[in-house]
């Protein structure tokens, strides 16, 4: 069996698995850079890519901590309680820890003698190894009449996001340096990063997530999330 070496490493604002969107495209403000590793950083290898708007990333679930897998898993879209076969899901807990993600492509960047791809709509944790990059082909990859079982439609956004006085003051101090930080936080929290079984249930726990350079604390009460603080890590 071939052992695949990564050809790139993703620099993502998601510094831990918690709060990473469960699918790409759910958080448009999630921007990242894909650093191409030698010897694949030859600009000629990317000639023609600029005419494509989206890319497929084939990656490794490098944060998986065990080689064990289960034939059934609990998809969040089914409330985190009902089990289905692992091959009927995109669960990271698979026999081979390989995933597929569709991202938006904004162009090539050459900086400090390195080559990067500018991306958004990211759903991958920081330092994810990328095994391959392929252009998205609309006529072949977009099938609007396809059936998708329990995931036919995008998840509903039902949470209202409020910012405490302290969080708003902290955001204001960061406005010039991090223009889109507030929108990014809103988009992440609207997906409700908590375990699926807690959705729309009373929850007094204070959660923390590491996004970009910040530790963000928040609390959820039924359909409203309160952002408590935003502190630089």
Domain-located, residue 150: no
With respect to residue 92, please indicate whether it lies within any of the assigned structural domains: yes
Give the per-residue pLDDT at 110: 96
Tokens of 143: 């099938």
The 3-state secondary structure of the chain reads CCCCCCCEEEECCECCCCCCCCCCCCCCCCEEEEEECCCCCCHHHHCCHHHCCEEEEEEECCCCCCCCCCCEECCHHHCCCCCEEHHHCCCCCCCCCEEEEEEEEEEEEEECCEEEEEEECCCCCCCCEEEEEEECCHHHHCCCCCCCHHHCCCCCCCCEEEECHHHHHHHHHHCCCCCCHHHHHHHHHHCCCCCHHHCCCCCCCEEEEEECCEEEEEEEECCEEEEEEEEEC
Q: Are 116 and 23 found together in one domain?
A: yes
Q: What pLDDT, on the 0 to 100 scale, is given for residue 153?
A: 81
Judge whether 146 lies within some domain: no
- Reference 214, options 14, 3, 7; nearest CA is 14
Structure tokens at 12: 């993502």
User: What CATH code is carried by the domain that includes residue 224?
Assistant: 3.30.2310.20
| Distance separating alpha carbons of residues 195 and 201, to the nearest angstrom | 11
Q: Which of 80, 111, 141 is the last residue of a domain?
A: 141
CA angle 88, 140, 41 (to 5 degrees): 90
Q: What is the pLDDT of residue 209?
A: 96
In a domain, 3, yes or no: no
Q: What are the structure tokens assigned to 85, written together?
A: 């076969």
75 and 121, same domain (yes or no)? yes
* Cross-strand partners of 195: none
Q: Are strands 72-73 and 54-60 parallel, antiparallel or unpaired?
A: unpaired
Q: What pLDDT does 1 receive?
A: 58
Q: Which domain holds residue 108?
A: 8-141
Distance CA 168, CA 122 (A): 25
| CATH code of 40's domain | 2.40.30.70
pLDDT averaged over consecutive 10-residue blocks of the chain (233 residues)? 87 94 90 97 97 97 82 83 89 90 97 96 96 96 86 80 95 86 94 86 91 95 93 91
């Amino acid at each position: 069996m071939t052992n695949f070496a990564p050809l790139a490493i993703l620099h993502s604002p998601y510094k831990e698995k918690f709060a990473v969107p469960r699918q790409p495209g759910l958080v448009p403000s999630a921007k990242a850079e894909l650093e191409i590793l030698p010897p694949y950083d030859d600009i000629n290898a990317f000639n023609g890519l600029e005419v494509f708007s989206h890319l497929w990333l084939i990656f490794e679930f490098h944060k998986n901590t065990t080689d064990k897998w289960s034939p059934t898993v609990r998809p969040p879209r089914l409330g985190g309680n009902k089990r289905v076969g692992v091959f009927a899901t995109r669960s990271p807990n698979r026999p081979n820890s390989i995933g597929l993600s569709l991202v938006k492509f904004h162009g090539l960047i050459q900086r400090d003698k390195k080559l990067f791809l500018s991306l958004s709509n990211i759903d991958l944790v920081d330092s994810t190894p990328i095994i391959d990059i392929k252009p998205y082909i609309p006529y072949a990859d977009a099938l609007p009449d396809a059936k998708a079982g329990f995931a036919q439609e995008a998840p509903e956004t039902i949470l209202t996001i409020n910012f405490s006085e302290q969080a708003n003051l902290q955001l204001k101090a960061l406005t010039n340096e991090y223009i889109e930080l507030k929108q990014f936080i809103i988009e992440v929290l609207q997906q409700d990063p908590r375990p699926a079984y807690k959705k729309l249930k009373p929850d007094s726990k204070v959660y923390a997530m590491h996004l970009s350079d910040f530790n963000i604390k928040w609390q959820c009460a039924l359909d409203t999330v309160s952002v408590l603080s935003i502190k630089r890590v």
